[in-house]
Chain A
């Protein structure tokens, strides 16, 4: 048991170590090195915050024809609206602050969407925060998925010095 605890501690330390080097353009995920990416995506191990190591659940394909509950677009949009306004209402654009903010907000939104407990759905949360400076920006996406079960929800927020765009994609695991 102590060996397991030691291993977990070593893994956590290694994870923290690699996260702190995120200042350079590199993301390390469980020893699998990715090519240099300049948008910082913070990868968290599932069950990272638990003290008791939970066994990983392997989900198998189901024979159901449709999902039990569909992706709740409006609920998720409300969550996004809520989180963005509460975190960014009074903020001014600052490079360091916004860097941290994007990571924090994406984690918060992910946690809240997870709390909705929609079975067999995988989520992707994308947050972009930018400075307003008379420039033009265009964001677009296309998805190859199942039209009937997969969906997305997005919201944008703007104040005098910054703008934020948040999107959540929900994909059914059949």
Chain B
């Protein structure tokens, strides 16, 4: 708890050290979805008076705990089950977020806490004082887990193995506690023995080496024994059981792949590439893969596409593909490479605390980037970096900053570094999923910045050092305390960087790691002909949310007639203008070639440029060595030169985006030239298509010739003899394939003067569909066909509606009829000849929604709802759900919103549940400042319940619910709720209480806590203002104290909290104010409780002492309760009400 950040090494927050853990699962029942087993933890006390052992455990029903074979009493208390209590009528998100962070921190293993508190039997106290080993043996079972372990049991005939039933562990960050009791921290390492007894037809895949497989006595089951001798955190333990097909990698026999029945051919193809990734990482890290074996398991209904655990990775089965599939291949390979990078950094090397997470994510992301560069080439790599940079910049500017290395001083809310967010960033489990994704993205970009600074060679040396230290440590016995070498911390990482490189990267770290925000540059220039100087002006916006000020070097590249020159400017506080001397005299000998950055010399047509200036184009921060957004102004011809002649793909992409603003024939020509250039990177060409479409639309009145891209497409992909017929498909050249796919989609965005898609274009696309012939192709054309449908959808324009007539077949636009004809046929053909990943169905559903939205087809969610049902392929479901979400928004349908929320509750697939919330957040039916019939009290209550207690089994889902709540209602009390009747306003965020200013004009200063004004939530009825006499003020004031104290109390002593809700009433220590309807009764109650709190206030310290006594009494009282409960076998389910306290029956007085 009082761990200090520093280089003193790792200090465990626990009064003991875990050295070894046994997990034994004796029985897995697929029918009932239950698991029975035990764990045994070997721990060494590190303090003499250890009498309580706190462990993590969620959902598990714990039968019995023994410490060194002695029965031990235990308390099971999980405040995250229900964050705020029933009686609370609080509905503001600020309150919730704080309470949630407090609840998570109350069980946070990194703070030495846990849900399960085991009392060391008094017989062992002496033993403990000698710091001798303790063995904690816990019998547990898990019944229909809602998180942590996911069962997939297809509903059909046959045995479980025949059905392909399987189960696997999953979760977001450290979620192992969901399926067995453990210290669920990335920093508590130990060795493992894992045993799983499963049906003889099944295979259990887990971490470490499979030592042996033994039949049970009846020969109907077998037990898999695994040993993991490399110290590993519980959070990196995983499991997958199912009737898997086994494939031993033909190149590396230590590597084994598993997939579900019938998919073996796909598995063979998909994993045939993996050994190259292995080779790559081992080579750059000059380090062997740390584990003795590696397993990949491909499972259905995956929680995430890739999950890395010690010596194994769990992938979504949907990544598997055959040799005929083009589009999925690079994506899957990326996933494999990502998983493998995390094996080194993330699994083998773990982190000390949550604030060091960025190092692991950064390094694994960075080496994954190196792999990308090597595999897909520099262009793809730079394109990817640009994409990631744009993403993080957009996110930070939208939400106000991503902090990589949060430092929390003493847990005070005041110095919360992320006050702009609606969630706490103190714990991984309180983070919004999107934030976490962006966090990972930023982490690897920052690693790249460090590399820019210290060179790649040093960077790799640092990694190698970390790895070799860890692997030395991993082979040590636990007593040597070397294991903490396997944990990485920010300070340790920075130290080894400075040791290896001898460079000071502190400013860089301060800027990007310790601080959130990105840089926003605005650049413009003027050329001073007399001085032959380029006057560059660079402004920064560092006042908007999510931005920060940048001071330091900034590279500017200027392409002149005489060549390309790099200049490093010093960005300082007040200097906006920078003079850059030019090398070339303006206009000169036309014949001479112009040298480019890469040494290439090219001929250019210089007629477009300004005769007075030698400048061709200017780029700011071309290497992306600052996390920034640059808005640079230069003339259109400069962008055009940049597009044509700059060889960097990032520059080309930037030029394309800039050219959108210059719809001129010259831009058109530049774009068309790029499109035709075979040497140009295919993604640039694809981007050029869309830009060309936009330009054509802006130039619609002056456009000459056939629609944009049509003749180009004809030339490239149609038959020479009959230009209206496309060649039979041959996708051997992937660049042309991608272009062929994209061009129709972009063309369909063309609009004529009436803002309709030109008939010619529509016919052209329909012809492409008609003449599409894939018979002689080596590859599947499913993605191509899907994009043709997307193209059809793109061509749809809003229907001309005559006084809101009902959409029927008769008034269907003839063009739309043609489109609909195709969609119908495609969708129906999918039923007979389904395409890979049902890409065509997905596109058809999207297209139908577009038709509905544009008023051609009656808007109706029924079709989508049927495709969204469980049992359809996940991509199809997502597409259908997206349409329903959109319908909910457009038609403001309460019924559909309810349907979606029910699905969030009940759907068997965690990913779908998560995705629905995600889509609702991105495309909300209403937002906080909007009037909507959907926004009502029932919905508020429903969502509140969802995030408060309905999603306690899945961190990601709960955070998703919080995000949605935030989008719909904002941070404060939802406006649709009736006004609160208490005059008191509690600003929980700053832990200050204020009286509602409508009641009392000036804020009341509290003797104990300063009262802040403003930022209050909720409007109050004015009744109390009539009573605003001194006494009343006094009373309310005391109330303030009382409540805030209750909150602090609640916050700090979460675990010491009474174990049943009942106690709260009896002790009177925590009392939430009941909202009472009648003003008069409020008044009387107010005074009552305030007296009480008054008392409490004065005897604050005494109370704390008393509390323990109270607690004891309650234990006694409680035992009866729980005994009674245990008579009823169903009493302790996982429901928040009953699970708050489960006491061992063996507890003796």
Bind each other: no
